[in-house]
Structure 1
Amino acid sequence: MANIKSAIKRIDVANRNNERNKAMKTEVKSSIKKFEQALNAGNIDEARELLKLIDKKLKKAAHKNIIHQNAASRKMSRLTLKLNKVG
């Protein structure tokens, strides 16, 4: 355990950021699962709405450096292709 006050603070900040990043990643993954369930069920309109929501969440996560910009673009592209194949 750190003894220096600034090191203790950095540990606290890092833990807080880690929790925030983990929560955002989980939120994105959950949205993607809902999107794929909607596609499998044939709810194309619902899937389109979820895709807009996923796009917003991915861009926000990429902007905050939680995931890489290219990874966000790749995920969005693949999901869009899935939607276009079905609908």
Structure 2
Amino acid sequence: MANIKSAVKRVETNKTKHEQNLQYKSDMRSQIKRVEKLVENKDVENAKSALETTIKKIDKAVQKGVIHQNNGDRQKSRLSKKVNELSA
């Protein structure tokens, strides 16, 4: 364990940020699974509305630095492709 006051503070700060990042990532993953499940059940309307909220969650995770920009773009592209194939 750190002995210096600033190091102790840094450990606490890192722990807090880590917990916040986990929350953003968890929300994003839950939304992605929700969209995939709706696509699997062929529920077009609900899948489209869920896709919008999922894209917002992914963008927020990218903005906060939880995931990389390319990862977010790839996730959005993959989900959009699934929903578009379903509606076509």
Q: Which range, TM-score by smaller chain?
A: over 0.9
Q: What is the match of residue 42 of structure 1?
A: 42
Instruction: Say whether 1:9 aligns with 2:9.
Output: yes
TM-score by length of 2: 0.95
- Which residue in the other structure is 1:31 paired with? 31
With the length of structure 1 as denominator, give the TM-score of the two structures.
0.96
User: How far did residue 7 of structure 1 move?
Assistant: 0.3
Q: 3-state SS of the aligned residue for 1:3? A: coil
CA–CA separation in structure 2 for the residues paired with 1:29 and 1:63: 16
Q: Cα offset for 1:86? A: 1.0
RMSD, aligned α-carbons: 0.7
Query: Highest relative contact order (Cα 8 Å, sep 6+), 1 or 2?
Result: 2
Matched, 1:71 2:71: yes
Partners of 2:25 and 2:33 in 1: how far apart? 13
Matched with 2:56 is 56
- Deviation track 1:8-27 (CA, whole Å, cap 9, x = no partner) reads 00000000000111111111
Aligned pair count reads 87
Percent sequence identity over aligned pairs = 38
